[in-house]
C-alpha cells in the first residue's frame, strides 16, 4: 500500500512538472527566461521532487533537464547539448571539481585503510573507556568537528569516519550523527580565520582588506554561532523534535540506527579480525591529514614562494591544497602501516578501489548538483538575485541585513552552493555601504555569509550536505529531512537577530538577544516533547 501511494505521488509530481514546462513553453522564450524567476525554477523542481519522492538521482536530473529545456527554448538538439556539453561534461572537466572528486576518493581509501588496520575499532575501544553516555558521544563529535576547521569537505568525511564507531556504540542514530557533522562543517569554517572559507570570502572583496573584513564579521555571523550553541543545548537538554525524534527514539529503544527501509551502509563495515588494531593506526592517518592539508593549502597560496601564512591561506586553492594534502597523508599512512607490519602492501592496494566504491553515491550526486548549478548560471540566476538586492537597498536600510540574510538563504538553498552566493552578494553589499556606514557593511556581509551557510545547510543538493551523509553513512534524504527543522529554527532566530542588529548596530545587544531567544525556544520544545532517556 505504501509503495502504491509513493508511485501515485511520484506520478503526480512528474505531471505537475510537465504542466509547468508546458506553461513555460507557451508563455516564455529563451530571452524572457533569462535573469527572471524562471532561472530558479530548475533547482526548486529538483529539491521539491527529492523531498517528496525520496529519490535524489532522478530528481536532480529532472532539474537539469528543466534548465536545459528553458535555456534552449525546447529545442531537442540544444537541450541535449546543454545538458552534456555545458552541464555534465563541463563540470567534470573543471579542474576545481575534479580536485574535489579526487579528494573524496583518497579520503574514501583512507577510511578503508583505517578500518582494515583496526584503527577505527581501536579508537572505539579507547573511546568506550572514556565516553560513557550518548551525550558524551555527541559532545565528543561536536568537539572533534570544531577542531577540523580547515575545510568543510575535510571535516565531513574525517569526523564521520572517526566518530561513527563511537556514536554507533551509544545508539546515536545515523541521522543525528549526520546533523552533528554537517553543523560542525560550514558553520565552523565560516567563523574560522584559518580556513578555505575565510580565503574564499576575503577573495570576493575588491578594494578592501578582505581578511580584515572577514575577522570583523565573525561575531555578527549569528547563524553559525547559534548553530554551534544549538547543537550543544540539544545534547545537554536531551531534546529532539521533528523527524529526528523518531530516528533517535528508534535508535535508543530498538538499536536501529537507520529507521527507514533504505540502509545501504548497514553491511559496509569491514569484518576483518582487528585484535592487533592499535589507536595509532587511527591517529597517524588523521594527524597526517590535518598537517598535510594545511601544508597543501598554504603551498597552493604561495607560502613557499614568500607569501605570509595568512596571505597564503587567503590566496589558496582549496581543491589543489586538499588533493595534495590528502595524497601526502595517504602515502604516509601506507608507509607507516607497512613499516609497523599492520597490513600487507596487497591489502593496502585493495583499499583503493574499495574507497572509490564507497564514494560512488556522493560523486554521482555531486555531479548532478554541479550540473544543476551550471543550468541556473546559464539562465542568469545570479543577475536576477543581484537586481533584487540592489533594488531593496534604498528604502529598507535598517532591514537590509535581514533582507540579505533571507535572499542568501533562498539563493544558496536553490543552487546548493555557499561560495557562489558569496560571490554574488558580497561585492553588492560592499558597493552599497562602502564609505557610507562601515558597521552596517560588516553586519550586511555577515548576513550574506550566514544566509549562504544556512541555505547550504538546508539544501539537499549542497555538496557539504551530501558529504555529511556520506561521512555518517546515512541515507541522504533521511539526513535532509531530519536536519531541516533544526536549521529552520536556527534560521528563524537568526533572522530576528539581524533585525535587531540592523537597528542597534551593536553586536552584544543583538547576539545576546539571539542567544536568549534560542534558549527559550529549545526549553519550550523540551517541555512539549519531553526529555530523551539515556
More confident residue, 355 or 151: 355
Q: Which of 45-59, 167-181, 463-477 has the lowest mean pLDDT?
A: 45-59
CB count in 10 Å sphere of residue 322:
29
Closest CA to 83 of 371, 366, 462: 371
**Helices assigned H by DSSP within 318-462:** 318-339, 345-358, 360-378, 381-392, 400-415, 418-433, 438-458
pTM of the model: 0.71
Whole-Å CA distances, 200 to 2, 151, 187, 315, 432: 46, 11, 15, 8, 21
Selected residue with higher pLDDT from 99 and 180 = 180
For range 469-481, the mean pLDDT: 87
Q: What is the pLDDT of residue 104?
A: 76
Q: What is the pLDDT of residue 202?
A: 59
Out of 27-41, 155-169, 227-241, 418-432, least confident range: 418-432
Q: Give the CA distances from residue 255 to residues 169, 172, 226, 266, 296, in Å, rounded to whole numbers and listed in that order.
A: 9, 9, 31, 13, 41
Q: Round to whole Å and give the CA distance between 161 and 150.
A: 17
Query: Which residues, in sequence order, are CB contacts of 349 under 8 Å at separation 6+?
Result: none
What percentage of the chain exceeds 90 in pLDDT? 16
- pLDDT value for 484: 92
The per-residue pLDDT for 222 is 94
- pLDDT band for 495, please (50, 70, 90 cuts): very high
Backbone torsion region of residue 172, taken as left when φ is above 0, otherwise alpha when ψ lies between -120 and 50, otherwise beta: beta
Q: What is the pLDDT of residue 9?
A: 66
- DSSP-derived secondary structure letter, 88: I
pLDDT digit string (tens) for 188-225?
Answer: 888 877 665 665 565 555 555 555 677 788 889 999 99
60-83 mean pLDDT: 86
Residue 260 in this model has a pLDDT that exceeds 80: no
| Look-up of cell digits 527559550 | 520
Q: Which three cell numbers stand for residue 329?
A: 597523508
| Local confidence band at 381 (pLDDT 50, 70, 90 cut-offs) | confident
Among 105-114, 169-178, 343-352, 395-404, name the one with the lowest average pLDDT.
Answer: 395-404
pLDDT at 270: 46
Tell me 84's DSSP state: I
* CA–CA separation, 113 and 115 (whole Å): 5
* Average pLDDT estimate for 238-255: 88
CA 24 to chain centre: 32
Distance, CA of 163 to CA of 138 (rounded, Å): 9
Strands (DSSP E) contained in 129-194 are none
Q: Where are the domains of the chain?
A: 1-93
DSSP 89: H
3-class DSSP state for residue 256? coil
pLDDT tier, 272 (very low <50, low <70, confident <90, very high otherwise): very low
Integer Cα distance of 206 and 194 in angstroms: 20
Amino acid at each position: 500500500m505504501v509503495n502504491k501511494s509513493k508511485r501515485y505521488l511520484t506520478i503526480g509530481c512528474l505531471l505537475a512538472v510537465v504542466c509547468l514546462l508546458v506553461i513555460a513553453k507557451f508563455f516564455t522564450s529563451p530571452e524572457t527566461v533569462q535573469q527572471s524567476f524562471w532561472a530558479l525554477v530548475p533547482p526548486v523542481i529538483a529539491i521539491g521532487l527529492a523531498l517528496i519522492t525520496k529519490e535524489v538521482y532522478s530528481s536532480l536530473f529532472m532539474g537539469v533537464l528543466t534548465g536545459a529545456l528553458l535555456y534552449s527554448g525546447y529545442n531537442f538538439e540544444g537541450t541535449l547539448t546543454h545538458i552534456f556539453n555545458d552541464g555534465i561534461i563541463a563540470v567534470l572537466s573543471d579542474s576545481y571539481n575534479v580536485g574535489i572528486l579526487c579528494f573524496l576518493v583518497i579520503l574514501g581509501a583512507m577510511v578503508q585503510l583505517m578500518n582494515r588496520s583496526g584503527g577505527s575499532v581501536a579508537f572505539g575501544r579507547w573511546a568506550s573507556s572514556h565516553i560513557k553516555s550518548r551525550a558524551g558521544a555527541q559532545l565528543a563529535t561536536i568537539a572533534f568537528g570544531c577542531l577540523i576547521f580547515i575545510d568543510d569537505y575535510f571535516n565531513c568525511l574525517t569526523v564521520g569516519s572517526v566518530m561513527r564507531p563511537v556514536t554507533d556504540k551509544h545508539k546515536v542514530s545515523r541521522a543525528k550523527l549526520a546533523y552533528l557533522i554537517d553543523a560542525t562543517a560550514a558553520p565552523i569554517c565560516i567563523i574560522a580565520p584559518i580556513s578555505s572559507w575565510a580565503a574564499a570570502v576575503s577573495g570576493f572583496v575588491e578594494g578592501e582588506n578582505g581578511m580584515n573584513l572577514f575577522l570583523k564579521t565573525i561575531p555578527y555571523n549569528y547563524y553559525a554561532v547559534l548553530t554551534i550553541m544549538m547543537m550543544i543545548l540539544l545534547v545537554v537538554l536531551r531534546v529532539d523534535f521533528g523527524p529526528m525524534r523518531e530516528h533517535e527514539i528508534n535508535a535508543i529503544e530498538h538499536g536501529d540506527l537507520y529507521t527507514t527501509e533504505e540502509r545501504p551502509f548497514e553491511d559496509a563495515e569491514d569484518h576483518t579480525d582487528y585484535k592487533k588494531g592499535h589507536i595509532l593506526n587511527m591517529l597517524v592517518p588523521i594527524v597526517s591529514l590535518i598537517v598535510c592539508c594545511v601544508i597543501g593549502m598554504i603551498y597552493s597560496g604561495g607560502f613557499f614562494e614568500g607569501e605570509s601564512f595568512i596571505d597564503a591561506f587567503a590566496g589558496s586553492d582549496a581543491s589543489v591544497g586538499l588533493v595534495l594534502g590528502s595524497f601526502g597523508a595517504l602515502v604516509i599512512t601506507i608507509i607507516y602501516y607497512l613499516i609497523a607490519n599492520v597490513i600487507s602492501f596487497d591489502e593496502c592496494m585493495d583499499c583503493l578501489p574499495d574507497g572509490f566504491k564507497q564514494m560512488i553515491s556522493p560523486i554521482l550526486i555531486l555531479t548532478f548538483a554541479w550540473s544543476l548549478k551550471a543550468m541556473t548560471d546559464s539562465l542568469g540566476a545570479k543577475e536576477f538575485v543581484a537586481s533584487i538586492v540592489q533594488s531593496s537597498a534604498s528604502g529598507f536600510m535598517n532591514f537590509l541585513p535581514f533582507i540579505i540574510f533571507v535572499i542568501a538563504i533562498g539563493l544558496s538553498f536553490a543552487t546548493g552552493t555557499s561560495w557562489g552566493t558569496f560571490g554574488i552578494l558580497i561585492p553588492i553589499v560592499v558597493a552599497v555601504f562602502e564609505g557610507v556606514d562601515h558597521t552596517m557593511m560588516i553586519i550586511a556581509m555577515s548576513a550574506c555569509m550566514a544566509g549562504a551557510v544556512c541555505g547550504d545547510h538546508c539544501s539537499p543538493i549542497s555538496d557539504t550536505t551530501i558529504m555529511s551523509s556520506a561521512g555518517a553513512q546515512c541515507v541522504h534524504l533521511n539526513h535532509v529531512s531530519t536536519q531541516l527543522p533544526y536549521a529552520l529554527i536556527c534560521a528563524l532566530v537568526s533572522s530576528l537577530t539581524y533585525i535587531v542588529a540592523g537597528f542597534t548596530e551593536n553586536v552584544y545587544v543583538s547576539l545576546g538577544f539571539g542567544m536568549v531567544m534560542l534558549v527559550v525556544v529549545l526549553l519550550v520544545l523540551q517541555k512539549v516533547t519531553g526529555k530523551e532517556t539515556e
